[in-house]
Amino acid sequence: MKPVRIKNVPSIRLTAGMYALSKLSAAGLTFTLLGLLSLVLPHTAIGWLSAPAYNVYAYALTVSLLADGLLKLTGTRSRAVVPIIYALAGFGAGLWLAHDQGSGWADSAFPGIAVLLLFRLTQHAGERIPALLPVFALFVPLLCLLLF
C-alpha cells in the first residue's frame, strides 16, 4: 500500500521555525529601537532602558510567548483582543521586571505595556516583510551589542 500524501499542508518544523524566527526578529528590532531610545534619553539605573538587550530577550520575549500561547489557547483571532492580551502581558512583564530590579511597579509596569505593544508591532512588521527576518533576528542585534 502506498503512503497517502496530503498536499498543501505546511511542515510542522517549517511552521515552528518561522514562528521562532519571527519572534527573534521582533526581539531584535525591539532591542534596536530601545537601544536607540536609551541613547537619546538620559540613562536610568532601572527600568526597560537600563539594559535593553537583557530586558527584551529575558522579559518581553518570554511574556510574548505566553501571550501567544494564551491567544492560541482561547482561539481568538479578533483584532481587538490581541492588543488587549499583549497590553496585559506587558503590564505583567513590567511587574516582573520591577520585582527583579527592586524598583517601583509603576516605573516598569506601564512602560512594559508600551514595550510589549511595540514587540507585537515589530513582529507584525516582520511577518509583512519576510526578507528582514534574518537581518533583525541575527545581524542587527549583534551589531547593536557591539555598539551599545
The pLDDT tens digits of the residues spanning 7-25 come to 666 778 878 888 888 999 9
What is residue 3's predicted lDDT score, i.e. its pLDDT? 61
Q: Taking the alpha carbons of 69, 75, 80, 81 in that order, is the dihedral positive or negative?
A: negative
Average pLDDT, stretch 2-9?
Answer: 62
Domain count, the chain: 1
Average pLDDT, stretch 52-61?
Answer: 88
What is residue 118's predicted lDDT score, i.e. its pLDDT? 93
Q: Which domain does 128 fall in, by range?
A: 17-147
What is residue 5's predicted lDDT score, i.e. its pLDDT? 63
Residue at 135 is within a domain: yes
Quote the CA–CA distance of 119 and 87 in Å, as a whole number: 11
pLDDT in tens, 57-85: 889 999 999 999 999 998 877 888 999 99
Closest CA to 134 of 25, 45, 33: 25
The pLDDT-based confidence of 43 (bands split at 50, 70, 90) is low
Residue at 98 is within a domain: yes
Residue at 10 is within a domain: no
CA atoms within 13 A on the CB side of 57: 14
Average pLDDT, stretch 80-108?
Answer: 88
Quick one: residue 75, left, alpha or beta (phi over 0 = left, psi -120 to 50 = alpha)? left
Question: What would the grid cell of residue 43 be?
Answer: 540613562
- pLDDT > 80? residue 44: no
Residue at 6 is within a domain: no
The backbone torsions φ and ψ at residue 118, rounded to the nearest 5 degrees and listed phi first, read -65, -40
What is residue 45's predicted lDDT score, i.e. its pLDDT? 57
Check residues 77 and 56 and name the one with the higher pLDDT: 56
What is residue 91's predicted lDDT score, i.e. its pLDDT? 94
**pTM tops 0.75, yes or no:** yes
What is residue 32's predicted lDDT score, i.e. its pLDDT? 87
The pLDDT-based confidence of 109 (bands split at 50, 70, 90) is confident
Residue at 115 is within a domain: yes
